Structure 1
């Protein structure tokens, strides 16, 4: 599994809003994947960015009294600035207003025209500015878009993409590539939608100007989703298909999106690529939505969750852990303050943090802070070390499925085993009766903690790093290649005095 390339993307975030928990959730999931793959020896390209064109942006800029370019630069900066606050390790940040992207989108358009997949016609139908999407009459619910957004009747000249031509090729592709869309519930939803029949898609507008101009027809700008989706291939070096970046990273391994935009990524995007004779990404994963204390999150309720406020209150790694542990990735989840504190205090402080602090604190107090020399390992010792050593192969399977919560449950099984082991072996009693055995028990625990800390780096990178610092593990010995006997802790090394990595959270009055 090691040594290959891996390209992962977030959706590009629409700049008419400020970053919220949904943006943070998607980005952190991708960050965990990217970190895991890097640690496992892959060359990674991790992309995020902002979607800055469209009628919605043009209207919002006008309302703010700003030119669209200035308006989008300000809002794009909010999303870019969020990344270091979340400790996100993206390799690229793309904006759809960049020259490289405009070149890329226009080349995709030219390929679609050359292949006979775009034609000029007249559009008349319902359009949602908020969703940047068209809806048929039978898709409306009480005169609104299915999302609840208002719609307006639009009539204007438009270029059309012959989406209907790609219904059977798409269904065939889904059947031949059953893991292309995940989770299964979203796959079923997409297959049902496509099976119901596809209609040709309007891909240009003339009623506003904030977008990428259609090649050879400046009266039209491109439909925002054709523009936005192309960002993924732009960052891979397109239209220079001979470039090192393109040949190495396209097609992408994984697009992570919210479930509300799965149709665009699993229907329109592969159809555009098929029609342009370009390779398709390997997988589209659509995650669920969050509620807040059991209630739908909305501006009108005033319960929008600011990720920066969460981090300030609870801590960055604690928030990262909670979001990826609390619910299966792909399902909807509920944020509650009590659940957050429970994960912090029970999982992180009591289970993992206390394990490390108990062991390293005991070594500091009773062994002079020196890594002990083990004797012969008993069956109990070997069982715990073997459980730690088998973690990587199991985590590879879970990460490849984007099953972050299952991956963490697997890690916590070993955390629990280590806590039971220390209670059963009672090194505090062995200190008087069998010091040599005590050294072996402590070494077994320290080596287990080394495995756990290295494997937890994708989720809690700063805290895992501190734990590895306290174990005396150098920066160059923290990737997954070092999860072998050959890289075990060296006895006799003097360690610094440990401090708690995951302190308990106490509510302030």
Structure 2
């Protein structure tokens, strides 16, 4: 199991320079009209370059609590998409970060007896550390408390006020309605219903969408005329039927536009909400947290510092893909495009809306004690196996279930047995056999297989030796189709099937028997079998890089694949003939340690995280108080004694120590 070692944060880019212009300044040419609203222009690209870089974003995560496994999943999903674009040969950028303003933060900080900024600082760093621990290749980490972001929001706000035609920009009024602090939004009356707090019997009103409490609010506010953008939003949806994936989320957003659209209250009185970005022209009003938050995506793209309108070079904007959870669909796919339209800016090219994670098919809840700590999960399983599981079990159509038992089964069957064991059978054979991937690739380069196939085309050569051909030919394209459609689960299933067929092929072809035969033709047959298996491993290794970047790199390194030949272009049989490693068996052959394998032992999956932690604490406390050292000690015990014996030993020690008076 991999230890959790903090990765250097040097790759995170420094904040861009702050705006030099005074808050009330409106740049020339920014007075846009509604006629400027149109579909995005995919041909927009940085000056003097080729294709516009691929830009992908995660939501910015709310810092009212510590990260959970859902945050990790969202980060990994976006990172996988970014890395996929990179191995397709594209320049790509990923933005993530934290959302730090609003009533919920203000109240949470007060509850902890802290100033809001101090509270945000403590929780934001946890999300940055999670991104580092999860090997997320983010180029930007934004905080909405960053000065560059505050400047961008002020600039955007002034444009909304002054650079839009009459009736399409902000207007002032009095708002009455049901407001939910937990969701940071107003709900229409038809989406509110009575409820009762079970613990106290108190009667409350709740949102029918989230079941969170709402309160009646009446206040002076600025409004954004969202209803005026209804036709433009529906036209956007009509012209881009795949703009939101999956399709049922597109239908959900369309239904909201058609049946629930209201003008949007976009400020709160500073007397009630002080923790936020003030209206630069009216300090008595605080800008609505969702307007503030959504602008982060263009802050890091250079809005307000490098460019101010669609007439400028917008660099990496528009975003190519924005990854969001199902609970924030409306804000991103209705409010956000309408706000961009108001300024004549291109909208994002697409949204990927995912579902939520449950714990063993039960909703994660602190009160139930089943919230998964992502940092402990990384320690327990290693980040690449955990990334593999999250992407394997990902679903855009239903909530996903997390359990250690599921991860343990996947780890043993698909990683240790299907990938790891195949690799050692082919690339690291036992001392009793004499083959190597280097020799097999040399045979391919020299054309030995062509002559052999031609000579045996009409002979009685066992069809087993050709039974992997169809899979090698079809799998790469199938995997690429799934990845291009953001279906990581489908892509992993295709990779698994390719490698499972390769394991079957090895078992049927029996290279350990062929190697005992004499003669050049038998040697060619042996190399043919090893070549096919090596190609399956190489192709799988290339296409697994976005999902398991470290393990895939180790696999490709061990196969001798050059770094410049690890792109999708080379992920097909015969595309790379210049790899392979020498096999140098040693007599007598040393037994390989489990610790030196690609996927080493992990703690028993039958123990919950809490049970494992407690057993480690009780059983190993005499040896070390360091939790990671305890975990390492446990793995060493399992390697020596076996999982069942260690589990019994720990249970016995635990029972003895806890029963001692």
Q: Normalising by structure 2, what TM-score?
A: 0.73
Say which is worse superposed, 3-12 or 26-35, in terms of deviation: 3-12
Matched, 1:93 2:141: yes
Q: Name the CA distance, whole Å, in 1 between partners of 2:403 and 2:226.
A: 42
1:140–1:397 distance in 2 versus 1, CA, 3 Å: same
* Match runs of 1:142-161 below 5 Å: 142=194, 143-146=205-208, 147-161=210-224
1:492–1:503 distance in 2 versus 1, CA, 3 Å: closer
1:264 corresponds in structure 2 to: 331
Superposition deviation, residue 156 in structure 1: 1.6
2:318 corresponds in structure 1 to: 251
Superposition deviation, residue 461 in structure 1: 1.2
1:193–1:275 distance in 2 versus 1, CA, 3 Å: same
CA contact (8 A) 1:254 1:285 kept: yes
CA contact (8 A) 2:68 2:373 kept: yes
* Aligned match for 2:396, one of 324, 329, 343: 329
Per-residue CA distance 1:228-254 (angstroms, 9 max, x = gap): 011111111112327999633111011
Q: Name the CA distance, whole Å, in 1 between partners of 2:432 and 2:277.
A: 66
1:52–1:468 distance in 2 versus 1, CA, 3 Å: same
CA contact (8 A) 2:290 2:331 kept: yes
2:290 corresponds in structure 1 to: 225
1:213 corresponds in structure 2 to: 278
Q: Name the CA distance, whole Å, in 1 between partners of 2:418 and 2:508.
A: 16
Q: Name the CA distance, whole Å, in 1 between partners of 2:584 and 2:129.
A: 36
CA contact (8 A) 2:392 2:489 kept: yes
1:107 corresponds in structure 2 to: 155
2:259 corresponds in structure 1 to: 196
Superposition deviation, residue 11 in structure 1: 0.2
Q: Name the CA distance, whole Å, in 1 between partners of 2:580 and 2:355.
A: 47
SS for the counterpart of 1:302 is coil
1:382–1:241 distance in 2 versus 1, CA, 3 Å: farther
* Aligned match for 2:128, one of 80, 93, 114: 80
The aligned length equals: 508
Say which is worse superposed, 480-489 or 277-286, in terms of deviation: 480-489
Per-residue CA distance 1:286-344 (angstroms, 9 max, x = gap): 10011111211111111111111112222221111111112423431111222211111
Q: Name the CA distance, whole Å, in 2 between partners of 1:417 and 1:168.
A: 52
* Aligned match for 2:387, one of 320, 323, 327: 320
Matched, 1:123 2:175: yes
**Larger-Rg structure:** 2
1:132–1:357 distance in 2 versus 1, CA, 3 Å: same
Superposition deviation, residue 351 in structure 1: 1.2
* Aligned match for 1:13, one of 61, 64, 68: 61
1:487 corresponds in structure 2 to: 576
Q: Name the CA distance, whole Å, in 2 between partners of 1:318 and 1:166.
A: 45
Superposition deviation, residue 486 in structure 1: 5.0
Q: Name the CA distance, whole Å, in 2 between partners of 1:139 and 1:284.
A: 25
Superposition deviation, residue 462 in structure 1: 1.2
Q: Name the CA distance, whole Å, in 2 between partners of 1:82 and 1:268.
A: 29
Superposition deviation, residue 424 in structure 1: 2.0
CA contact (8 A) 2:56 2:322 kept: yes
Per-residue CA distance 1:97-125 (angstroms, 9 max, x = gap): 11211121122212222214100111221
1:376 corresponds in structure 2 to: 449
SS for the counterpart of 2:395 is coil
Matched, 1:403 2:487: yes
CA contact (8 A) 1:363 1:371 kept: no
1:464–1:496 distance in 2 versus 1, CA, 3 Å: farther
SS for the counterpart of 1:190 is helix
2:340 corresponds in structure 1 to: 273
CA contact (8 A) 2:98 2:124 kept: yes
Superposition deviation, residue 368 in structure 1: 7.0
- Segments of 5+ residues of structure 1 without an aligned counterpart are none
1:496–1:287 distance in 2 versus 1, CA, 3 Å: farther
1:128–1:492 distance in 2 versus 1, CA, 3 Å: closer
Q: Normalising by structure 1, what TM-score?
A: 0.94
2:201 corresponds in structure 1 to: none
Q: Name the CA distance, whole Å, in 2 between partners of 1:305 and 1:426.
A: 44
* Aligned match for 1:456, one of 540, 544, 549: 544
CA contact (8 A) 1:164 1:199 kept: yes
Superposition deviation, residue 226 in structure 1: 0.4
* Aligned match for 2:229, one of 147, 156, 166: 166
SS for the counterpart of 1:367 is coil
Q: Name the CA distance, whole Å, in 2 between partners of 1:68 and 1:495.
A: 62
CA RMSD of aligned residues (A): 2.4
1:442 corresponds in structure 2 to: 530
SS for the counterpart of 1:441 is helix
Matched, 1:394 2:446: no
- Segments of 5+ residues of structure 2 without an aligned counterpart are 1-49, 195-204, 454-462, 587-591, 605-642, 648-661
1:495–1:59 distance in 2 versus 1, CA, 3 Å: farther
